[in-house]
Structure 1
Amino acid sequence: MAVFSSKKFRSSAEANTIASRYRVHLARHPFLLFGLPFIATMVAGSFFLTPATAIRYEKHDRKVRRLSKEEELGIGKAGRRVDMKEEYYVRWIPSLDNLAKDLDDWEQKRVKRLPGEHDGVI
């Protein structure tokens, strides 16, 4: 019995093309002709895309920036300056006499409901 060779038949016109020569060399040296160019492309792409990514984040940082306390509170040139000590100690701590009056003299009032709302009774 005759033994068949594992080589494919290639015509003489096909044997002289760049693609056929590349295929032959690729079979002998796969990493050198396929793996190395692939890895080089990935590394080069990383270096070329780094500035583009930096521009993207710089643009985002221009939009979002740290605000000072006055900007955060929405106070522009027309607003008054806020002193936290004055606001806390003067305005928010009621005297004990006023607090006792408020606790003794209060009235529960119902809020008027919108038409169509139930009063919670089933």
Structure 2
Amino acid sequence: MPTFSSKPYNPTPSVFNSWSSRAKRHPLLFFGMPFVLTMVGASFGLAQLTQTRYDHRDMRHRKVAKEEALGMEKNRRQFSLQEEYWRLQAQEEEEEEDWQQVRIERPPGVDQ
């Protein structure tokens, strides 16, 4: 019975073997650099994303003038409390002139 040879069977060096040997010699190059590049790239990506978020929020919550918020025109007439009082008094007097007290019928079964 033949004995097994002490050399492992490796007819041609594969790509994996060559990368594996390089990674063993230079671990920083194959593991550290991709990690650092990922962290730096992610920080720039997140900065862009958060800036877009804050720009969108500022656009929705922008400061508006008091007249704009109430939907008022800038060339409106000035409000005078005294004139408003007189206007309401005139309306009240007009309503009092047309008003009449009318008695309604009592519901059935109710005594006077």
- In the superposition, the TM-score normalised over structure 2's length comes to 0.47
- In the superposition, the TM-score normalised over structure 1's length comes to 0.44
Q: Which has more radius of gyration?
A: 2
